[in-house]
Structure 1
């Protein structure tokens, strides 16, 4: 890291389970989910600016510059902290949009943590996570960087230590709208609450999966193909599906078998995000 520059990863996440408990008066859903990170993700490069301008130099198709969560995160942190500094930002994007693996939320969290250091704000994790929640329900878990059992709308986090297997993720070439799935009249919204221990023992499902399968045959096909080798599940509201394997070699073997049909990648599950491991090594 050179003075005034910082390069950090923005890891993917999995929802190992996702239960919808009910719908609140404000339209948000009460849920329970289990977050775990992957050692795979986007990468962001930050360079300090003295003129207060925030500029993302990597355009994203279909996302206007000022609507990108990276820019929103930077400008919101700037406004709330009163910092007069700015940043040039470059993004190496590998996580699919609408994949359910947290790409936009992870990018936003990495931006908050990076600029907290570059602008020398000294904000703690609680304050950054509170700001992150205004950008998206998944942002706080990326800010905190530890696998977690989440409740509420996803912001009430309890750190947990699930097993860390190798995963194969398949990436159907569709972008699933979270709003669309949560507004579907057939979405299960009355799953009883469950305690942390049963979740860690493997009890749980993804209540969004039947809705996504019905709406997106590409996702249903991916689940069926991966399901021939392991327990295949949807992460978040999709579109990515995943399965756990005891070794990288086994995950790679199945990946090669399915490569002609679907794109995907193999990654290690991690209870400490690679973003936080990188930060710990730097500071």
Structure 2
């Protein structure tokens, strides 16, 4: 009998992003604060008995062997020897390459969703280990808790952050992460700080070390940062292209979005979450109905 499951794949923001060094293998050492949003993609899974993994719709410019959803499903199946397959449907809301972690979140939702649907019973720790092979941001989505992250983003310490309303804007350009991290002028030696100090300093003093480089390389991002910054404190997330402003109430978010007026920009509002909507959904499914 076919079983099915529909789950969110939420966006994340980097509320803070420091680059503290560059490793011999070319990766950068980071310190960052991850927080989830109550907005993202949706993935629907249905079991198949023939072992086939089928994803719809296809993503433009992404080959099947490179798609993180299918890679996550294959990795989980190879790890466990599971012979089941799945039909997977993706409702894509997050812009690709926007710094919101959409691909990593989709991969994490696939790992957790198929782990539940196939009855594999792997722990979150093991799923996070598998996820790290897919990308440095996947483990935070697997664990599902806002976190202080170090290393390349995989060493996680759970935190509780403020949960304001956010306006998020994508200024209609695609940022190439390798170009940002390869830029000669990128700040790479910010002195490391403790998590306690970062939390004590608070959002007004947090920054993203990639922002000045992305502003220089991508003028539309600089323009969007200036526009949104008229209304509220504004920052880049990840390497962009998305940027966000934090606000005290939903009405202010609505007011800003009404003024957007740019057909080449996409914008949405969302609430910050310290517990991932994916994990809330899974816990709800696991709770028996009275």
Q: TM-score range by the shorter chain?
A: over 0.9
Residue 77 (structure 1) shift: 0.8
Residue equivalent to 2:248 = 246
| TM-score, structure 1 normalization | 0.97
2: CA distance, partners of 1:86 / 1:139: 22
Per-residue CA deviations over 1:71-117 (Å, capped at 9, x if unaligned) read 00000111111111111101000100010000000000000000101
Residue 66 (structure 1) shift: 2.1
Whether the 8 Å CA contact 2:168–2:243 is kept in 1: the answer is yes
2: CA distance, partners of 1:239 / 1:48: 36
Whether the 8 Å CA contact 1:19–1:204 is kept in 2: the answer is no
Per-residue CA deviations over 1:240-264 (Å, capped at 9, x if unaligned) read 0100000000111111112346320
SS at match of 1:121: coil
Residue equivalent to 1:72 = 71
Residue equivalent to 1:19 = 18
2: CA distance, partners of 1:117 / 1:207: 38
Of 266, 269, 272 in structure 2, the residue corresponding to residue 266 of structure 1 is 269
SS at match of 1:13: strand
| TM-score, structure 2 normalization | 0.95
Structure 2 unaligned regions, length at least 5 = none
Range with bigger deviation, 234-243 or 200-209: 200-209
Range with bigger deviation, 88-97 or 257-266: 257-266
Whether the 8 Å CA contact 2:2–2:48 is kept in 1: the answer is no
Range with bigger deviation, 204-213 or 91-100: 204-213
1: CA distance, partners of 2:26 / 2:112: 30
Q: Which runs of 4+ in 1 moved over 3 A?
A: 259-262
SS at match of 2:259: helix
Whether the 8 Å CA contact 1:70–1:107 is kept in 2: the answer is yes
Range with bigger deviation, 106-115 or 64-73: 64-73
Residue 3 (structure 1) shift: 5.5
